Every structure is written in C-alpha cells, then in structure tokens.
Amino acid sequence: MRVLITRPEREATTLATALGERGHAPVMAPLFRLDILHPPEGFAEALAACQAVLLTSANGARALADASPQRAKPVLAVGDTTASTAEGLGFTTVTSAAGDGAALVELVRQRLDPKAGPLIHVAGTEIAVDLTESLAGDGYDVRRFALYEAREETTFPESARAALQARALDVATFFSPRASAAFARLIEDAGLGDTLQGVTAVAISPAALAPLADLPFKAQVSAVRPTRQAVLDEIDRLAEAGVQGQASMSDTSSPAAPSSSLSATEPAPPVVEVRRGIGLVGTFITGLVAAALVLALALISLPFWPEQFQALWRGKSVAVAPTPTIDLQAVRADASTAASAAVEATKRDLVARLDDLEKRVRATAAAAAERPASAEPALAELRSKVEALERRAATAAPTAQQPAPPAPPTTSDAEKELAILSREIAALRTSMQALDQAVAAQKDEQARQREQARTMSEAIGVRGAADQKALIAARASAVIGIAARLSAALESGLPFAVDLGLLTPLVQGDAKLAEITSSLQPYGASGVASRATLAAEFPAVAKAALADDLADDSFGERLLGKLRALISLRRVGDVEGDSVEARLARAETALEAGDLAKAVAQVKSLPPQTGKATEAWLKRAEAHLAAERAVQQLAAHAVTLLGTAR
C-alpha cells in the first residue's frame, strides 16, 4: 500500500520506518511544524512538587526532556508510543495507558492518590483532552503546562500534492481531529478533492475521522483501538482485503474505544480478532503471482514507453529462482508474446487508418484543383460557339427577309440554313445550361470536399496533440515516482545512484530536469547523512565547539578546554543571547523541531575558533539540505509537467 503520513516530521519518520518494515511505501507530508517552547515561570517548582507527570503525546515527552534534566518523576503516558519515547529519553518510571485520553484518566484513578500531591500535564498549546477538567471531580489537582506548539502548515505539502495528482496513493492516515480538519481545509484550498476517490482514510479514532466526512474518500476507516499499532494493523488488513471500501470498513462499524467509566475489573468490550498474515507459503505464492502480474502489465505497456526506457528495460536481467509451482520465465515469455502481438496489431490498424485519411485528403485536394481547370475552358468554348451562331443567324435573317423577285414563294437555301442554325443554337443552349448546372454542382462538391479535408486535418492534429499529452503525463508520473524514491533515500541516509540513474533517459530535451539531475550527481554514490543522524551527532559537536571557544593559548585554559571536551555542562532549549552556548542551544532546539536549515544557520554564526569542531558536521548538513532542495525541485517540476499534460 502507498500510505500518506500527515504527522509532524519526527513522528512521520518513525511511522514511515514501521510501514517500510511491513512492506508499505510511505509518502511523508507533515501538516504541522513542531516548535519547542521555553518553560514558563514556576514550571521547575511545580515539577519538583508533583507526584507524577501526565503525557498525552510523544511530543510532550520530548518537550519535558528538553525543559528539565529531571528523569526520576513517575510518568503516566497515554499510549505505548508515548511511553516508548519517554523511556528512550531516560525517564525511569513510565506506565502506559495503552489507549486514549479516557484510558489515561482511568489509569490515574487506579494508580494515583489525590492526597499524595498535585499532577503535571505536559501538553501543547492545542489539546484534545482536558485532563484538568476530567480529574477535578475526583479531587486531583492537575496543572497543565504548554511546552510545545504544533503549527499548521499554510499550504499543502508538494509531496502530497504530486502524489495525489498522479493518483499514486492508496491510504491516508490521520492521528488527531486537528490533523483531519487541517487536511480537509488544505485539500479544499488546493482544489484536490477529486483526487481522493481512490484513497482510503484510516484514522486513529472516530473523533479523528469526523472532520473528513465530507471528503470523497473511497472509504473511511477507524482503528479498532486508538493506538498507532492499531492503525498499522488496519493498513495491513486493507492490503490483504484489496481496499474493498465496504460498509463494514467505515467508522460506524469500528468497535468503540474503551469508555472512561469502565473499571479495571469490568470486562473489556469484545474486539474483533483479525488474522495477521496468510502464512509463509501463502505469502510466498501471493508474492510470486503479484510479481508475475506486474511484469505482464509492464510488458504490455512496454511499446508505449520512450525508447530510452525500452533500452533500459532490455539491458537489465532479472534472475528469478525457479519454483516447483510457477515458471516465471514462461509467464514472462507468454505475456511478452501476447502483448507484442496485441500491440503490433493495434499499431498496424492505427497506421493504416492514418494512411487512408492522408490519401483521401490528398485525393480530394487534387480533384478540387483539377476539375475547375478542365470545366471552365469547355464552358468558354461553348459560349463562343453560341455567340458565333447567333451572329450568323442575325446576318442571315435580313437576307432571307429581303423582297424576292416576282415569283411564287418557294423554300430557299437561306431559309433551310436558318432553320438548321436555329436548331443548333437551341441544342447548344440546352447543353450550355446542363454544363452550367454540372459546374455549379462540381463547385459545391469541391467546397464540401475542402471542408471535409479541413476536418480530417484537424482530427489528425488533435490526435497528435493527445498522444503528445499522454507521453508528457507518463514522463511526469515516472519523475514523481523517482522523486519519491530519492526522498526516501535521503531520509534513510542510503546511496541513491541507482535511483538517480533512472532520470538519465528522461533528461533529453528538458534543461530543467538535466540541471536538477546534475546537482544530485555528487551525492548519489555515497548518499547524504539523514536528519536523524545529524541530530544524534550534534551534542558531541556542540560539546567540542564549546570547549574550543573557552580555550586560549595559556596552559590553564588549554587544560580547561580539554576537560570541557570530556565533561561539560551546557544549557539547552531556546536560550537567548549571542554567546556560543546560546547559539548551540538554539541550533539543537531547531534540530529537535526538524528545522535543519535553521540549525545550520546558527552553527555558521559561531566564531572562527569553533570551526574545527563544527566543520565536518556542517559540510554533511549542507549536503543534506542541497540534496533535499534538489529533490523538492524535482517533485515540483513533475507537477508542472502534469499540468502541461492537462
């Protein structure tokens, strides 16, 4: 399944890794940008006096770790993902409610005594569950501190826009009502509603699914339980079922989350058991059949590919181990033969039709050019003969009418000649009228044939334009797929020279695409460091830079610098000031929020004596940013090509 992830960048990366391990293709399009806030006054005192800390998101765990070095306080987390994040940050006593806000409230009632002290709820500026109000009736004193802010993006991410316009998505995931509402608003602003007809919306809860009710999704699914694992299980189930989009998959049939009124001793609501997987043998056979189908489709469409792609396809050899049940080589040969025969027959038919149209156009034009040339001289000749005969009749009539010598009236030769001439004139007039009618009919036929020729020429031109647009659309779709693969390689820190090589047949005649490909070439063989790697390495770089800044040429300061390189204490978070320590703290905060460009700017502003410690890290970070910008330009260029094809 090709899955759209709308979570903030850090959570999106974790979810993308989990989806990749399950065989799905993630497309990250964060709708929020996370900013860690400076702790308000009184937070340290409240933390020291509380009996436990309540966390309703993984971002809350990160903000708490950033705000205080205290790790011994008991932590009650809303779900397993939040609990795992808190444990990874060093908190020693963490308990998971394995559910939603109502489950966390029930866990507090079971584990904590209202008389043992106040509680702290670490949250963002926007909250989904008000724990203060929910626990006030039970006598708990809960103080909420907003230590982070998830700011909505004002425009739809280009990665999501390109994937939707290319109809390259199967599933879109939503983990909060706020994310669903933001997605609905951005989709409407971007005018992309019709691109959702083949996409299934999977939400963590019915509440998160509600803002999507008016969007034309193929189906809308609510997870069985409000956890990330349940969302992943739902995606696996959709993959097995082929995304049928039946009514049983909608949120109305999804089992409801446990109510906060349930006690620990009451039985949980029945949960529909969904089988995971179809066994090793079934999975193997299914994979082989799917591979055969994909290969057959690729071979059927192969003659319509650009020549460069055809050469690239024929130049590669796919080694498939023979199995006792399916002979892939035979399937490929049969599919190739059938596809080639069908395509060649279609091509011959189209070529024959075009040749016939062109011949008819040329014949019509030739006939229209020749017929007037032969008809007009004949008509002029007839007119001249008629005029000559009329002149002869005019001269002969007076002669015949002159007084004859006295004699009885007889028939003279002049009268005979006049009668003959009169009959010839009448016959010629009749012939001339018939010829005039024939010429008029011929002119009408000529005009009709010219109009038909013009219509045929326009039809041929329209067909050629349609073929050109189809070729551009196919090229843009290929570029979008390659951009998605390059983006995944950047996030994982792996080399991407093979993926970049797929662009080589497409750059001919496209200067912009050639420029983007050239900018990515220096990084393809070795790849670039991922954001996660750069963030993990930064604390050591900051410690070394701080030590270099404090050391001078004296023996005592050099010794102090070496000691600080081994053991050092420095402030973290959004620290004000222009000192090296403050800039390093702000750079690390930017890294935690996913803003690598801001972190690089802070490191570049450090004094020269810190350059030795930061030089290597800075080069790797700038390489990542440069490669990321190029991939974004590649995706945007593909979207432009799609617009041209329309």
Among 156-170, 259-273, 418-432, name the most confident range. Answer: 156-170
2-31+154-249: CATH number? 3.40.50.10090
- Domains in the chain: boundaries: 2-31+154-249, 36-152, 282-346, 348-399+413-464, 497-645
Cα 369 to Cα 348: distance, rounded to the nearest angstrom:
32
Question: Three-state SS for 151?
Answer: strand
> How are the residues of the chain apportioned to helix, strand and coil, as percentages rounded to the nearest 5?
65, 10, 30
| 511 CB-near residues (< 8 Å, 6+ apart) | none
φ/ψ of residue 393, rounded to 5: -65, -35
DSSP β-bridge partners for residue 221: 202
φ/ψ of residue 174, rounded to 5: -140, 130
Given this model, what pLDDT does residue 121 score?
A: 93
Structure tokens at 9: 């960048």
Contact 518, 634 (CB under 8 A): no
Please name the amino acid found at residue 233: D
Contact 51, 119 (CB under 8 A): yes
DSSP class of residue 153 equals: P
Helix (H) or strand (E) holding 242: none
Please name the amino acid found at residue 72: A
Residues in the chain: 646
Q: Report which of 501, 492, 507 is spatially closest to residue 521, judged by C-alpha positions.
A: 501
pLDDT tens digits for range 269-297:
444 333 444 555 566 777 777 777 777 77
Structure tokens at 490: 């950047």
Cα 52 to Cα 46: distance, rounded to the nearest angstrom:
11
Q: Which CATH number fits domain 36-152: 2.40.340.10, 3.20.20.150, 3.40.50.10090, 3.40.1190.20?
A: 3.40.50.10090
Range of weakest confidence among 142-156, 182-196, 442-456: 442-456
- Check for a shared fold between 2-31+154-249 and 36-152: yes
Give yes or no for residue 580 having a pLDDT over 50.
Answer: yes
pTM for the predicted model, two decimal places:
0.37
Give yes or no for residue 29 having a pLDDT over 80.
Answer: yes
Average pLDDT of 581-608? 87
pLDDT: is 266 or 619 the higher one? Answer: 619
What angle, 0 to 180 degrees and rounded to 10, lies between the N-to-C axes of helices 580-592 and 531-550? 170
pLDDT tens digits for range 144-174:
999 888 888 888 888 788 888 888 889 999 9
